[in-house]
Amino acid sequence: MGEPLRVGMVGAGKISGQYLDTLARDPALRLTAVTDLDPERARAAADRAGAATAASVAELVAREDVDAVLNLTVPAAHAEVALAAVAAGKHVYGEKPLAATREEAAAVLAAARGAGVRVGSAPDTVLGTGVQTARRAVDEGLVGRPVAATAFMTTAGHEAWHPDPEFYYRPGGGPLLDMGPYYLSALVHLLGPVVRVTGAASRPRAERAVGSGPRAGQTFAVEVDTHVTGVLEHAGGALSTLVMSFDVHAARLPRIEVHGTEGSLSVPDPNGFDGPVELHPAGGPWQLLPPSAGYVGAGRGTGLADLAGALAAGRPHLASAALAGHVLDVMLTLLDAAHAGRTLAVEPGAERPGAVPGLVEPAAAPA
């Protein structure tokens, strides 16, 4: 193995702990610098990893010991940070969504092409053994020709557990843009790109209240739709039914199911990397499929490690900005369709992303 990819992390909030775990155990990555709006948070994260702190994004992206920027800022800042990194000649891997708007996403991709650097994006959960084993089952024809899929994410809202939940309810947030990337990325891996969408959306409450932490009880405005439902038509003809909600207190809905001419497939929570994959062939019964593909024991940041391996091997990275851009376009088009009350076409040209070839240990790179 060659030298590790040197990583500068922008944003040391709640999600950063999971990335720090992956960075600590994967020899393909080495954290060298951290910056955050809260200097104390940056210092704590840097001390944990033996890295340096940077006073600003500009200072971090200018460092010679940073090859790639890990962008863990709030959604509204994703494009700004990514563009600063690309302008400094750095590769970028960011949290989802890729950007808050199509225009911002397009600007990031265009800048990266011009600079000759790579851009990757969460979710990388689709690279784990859960979705990848399910994808292999679909590709091997275990359900026959895919006809339909369902995808459900229902919760009462993140304010119940997050001490600073406002950004989930501002532009760039909401259940679709927050959690939809996990489900839509999985559906695109399983069934291919989306070509048309229709849907409906609602915002039942104008205000929410912080449910935990020192600000518990404080109210804030809801600026986005909090219940979104849609029907997605995939390029191969399969239809997916999607429900993303911050307005459901309890449900017994499956996470993702794929139904084909010869059987059905139960897919685990795409917010995780593994989980049981079950097949119900025509005539039954349900049977557990052993893991057959994906990164084993993966965690947040596996997509960044895959990007490092891809750079070394000269291959495409799997948690790509192309997939993230398509997913963002699907989500925004679904919201447009919901508000317009009609079916809308998704920007053409997207392709089904590459698969993880078999079972791969996290420290290894697929061929």
Q: What is the DSSP letter of 56?
A: S
Residue pointed to by tokens 């927050």? 178
> CB count, 10 Å around CB of 351?
13
The packing angle between helices 39-49 and 16-25, to 10°, is 20
The one catalytic residue among 96, 158, 189, 208? 96
Q: Is 90 a catalytic residue?
A: no
The closest alpha carbon to 300, from 10, 24, 22, belongs to 22
Decide if 288 contacts 355 (C-beta within 8 A).
Answer: no
Query: Which SS3 state, helix, strand or coil, does residue 315 take?
Result: coil
The closest alpha carbon to 22, from 54, 49, 56, 55, belongs to 49
Tokens of 28: 């393909």
The closest alpha carbon to 136, from 332, 357, 366, 361, belongs to 357
Residues contacting 220, CB < 8 A, separation 6+: 165, 166, 169, 207, 208, 209, 210
Residues shown for the chain: 367
Sequence letter at residue 126: V
Tokens of 264: 């059905």
The closest alpha carbon to 52, from 39, 69, 34, 70, belongs to 34
Q: What is the DSSP letter of 296?
A: T
Instruction: Could you list the beta-strand ranges (E) of 4-89.
Output: 5-10, 29-35, 52-53, 68-71
What residues are annotated to the active site? 96
